[in-house]
Chains A and B, each alone.
Chain A
Amino acid sequence: MKRVQFTNASLPYLLLLPQLAIIVIFFYWPSAQAIQSSFYLEDPFGFGSTFVGMENYTDVLGSNEYASIARFTIAFTLLVTFLSLSIALLLAVKADAVLKGSSTYKTLLMWVYAVAPPVAGLMGVMFFDMHIGPFLKVAAFFGWDFKIGLNYFDTAFAMVVIAVWKQIPYNFIFFLSGLQAIPKSVREASMIDCRSGFRRFWSIILPLLAPTAFFLLIINMTYSLFDTFGIVDVVVKDKAANNPITLVYKVYMDGFRGGDLGGSSAQSVILMLVVFVLTIFQFRFIERRVHYG
């Protein structure tokens, strides 16, 4: 917390009001209804419904299928978060360091973020296509018989690559903005203190970047968990079969496609609780090591 703060009785509430009003109306109110429906089995049009207590939860948690989807989701989230963060950080540090061509690099690296998601997904799928994908040649060069849609690992590989590729520019933009905010005087001082580039980065730049990095860690985790269902859908060609899928895709299949509001709500609540616990953990144990200013 800040050493100095304003003390004003009503102003902070006033400043928070617009954001809170929108959140209460458009998030908490609908969410409460979604949570309520997790205790019912109802027809989506709202004619019949049966109160089933915890049955939707026990049905989900008791299924082997759900457990294996959960395992894949964890692996997927860890991989996507780690890879997209580290690659973006490397690129941002380098783009921040070079003088010549720096703005060209920055533009090029941010560009992909602008590709419309359906086309980005389609392109990824065409790249990895089981019959005509250019990637088959690359894989064959290493003796890898790449079979997307048939081989669990290969399908997962394609999903991770596309998800990481799509997320790198996002992280790049934020890392770069974080780096740019480091005062020149600090950098110059660090040049004198640490001659080794790596040590300078590790002991001076990274700690200064920590607030941004912590933010990105949380956001990337929620990205991998929640925002990648479009990628999963396009990679499995809307037929999950025995291919890897993530938990939120399962929510989509059951709720959106299958009309099982109760079951899919229960799955969302489970997901929400798990992520909530995870973030609290991160705030308590990781944020403690983040030094703000």
Chain B
Amino acid sequence: MKTKNIMIVGVGGQGTLLTSRILGGLTIQAGYDVKLSEVHGMAQRGGSVVTFVRYGDKVREPIVEEGQADVLIAFERLEALRYAHYLKKDGAIVVNDQRIDPMPVVIGAAKYPENIIENLEKSHRVYRVDAIEEAKKLGNSKVFNVIVLGMAAQHMDFKKEDWLTVIEQTVPAKTVELNKKAFEIGYDLHN
């Protein structure tokens, strides 16, 4: 299989590492070669973070580059826009409709761009979800990232049952049911 390129972008602390690990576990279970590239350290402290996941028959480079991503999973609107040019022409963006102001915006040194999603829709296939709202309905806003992942799952080559199995193996035992529910909500929201 030709290498598939997935990017998970967001703001440090939003749980990009957890979602990439679920995805990584899945690709191995399916027997692919896989490489994942993560961000640790200072950049994780509320900064813009990006995780690359590449899987296929043989993966060399651990990073995804401009114009190569099949799916861009964005946990925040501005971050979706920041990395949109990494997508292939027919690539899909799954975006959590959340705004987190970066410090230059908070202190008034820059403006948060308007109509990000509407503008992205002009040139990309965009799938939007207010995952925090959906997660709150589940009683825990922190699982919003797994809802977004559930939506993105529709653009990848794995069966729903396999996703659920890997989630079971990856998340802490106490939160298995919650995370599985979150995944299913995202998966079913997609249309």
Report whether chain A binds chain B: no
